[in-house]
Structure formats: C-alpha cells, structure tokens
Amino acid sequence: MKITLPTSEVGQAILEASKDNMLVQGLYIKYDVDIKGNRLTLTAKDGYIENAEDAFLLAWYAKEYI
C-alpha cells in the first residue's frame, strides 16, 4: 500500500513514534515500512494481510509527534 504524505515531516514523525509508541511498533511488526521523502510504503509481512485501517492508525498515533 503506497501513501503520499502531506510533507516529509510526517515521515519523520512516524519514525519518532516508532521509538516509544507500542501501537506504532506493532505496525512495524506487521508491515515492512519504507519512508522516502513524502512517500510511505507499507508492505504486509508473511502471514499478515494489508488493511487500510492500519494506515489510518499509523497516522493517528504519529500525529502527536508532529
């Protein structure tokens, strides 16, 4: 699932959130997360399926880090 972020600041916020937010860390367990500039790519790992709701949750918990 590829998502275009509004700014590259959002990508940085996701990286910061992944350091101490357990729900964001859980998404890193389920997905390979690739952030380049303002592009976010979530690829489900083996045994998991992609879910658009996960992208929403990632944004919801990362918003506190912007």
pTM of the model: 0.81
Phi-psi bin for 41: left (phi > 0), alpha (psi -120 to 50), beta? beta
Q: How far apart are CA 1 and CA 19, in angstroms?
A: 22
**Element of type H or E holding 32:** strand 31-36
Alpha-carbon distance of 63 to 66, in angstroms, equals 6
Encode pLDDT of 20-43 as tens digits: 999 999 999 999 999 998 899 999
Which of left, alpha, beta for 37 (phi over 0: left; psi -120 to 50: alpha)? left
pLDDT in tens, 2-24: 988 888 888 899 999 999 999 99
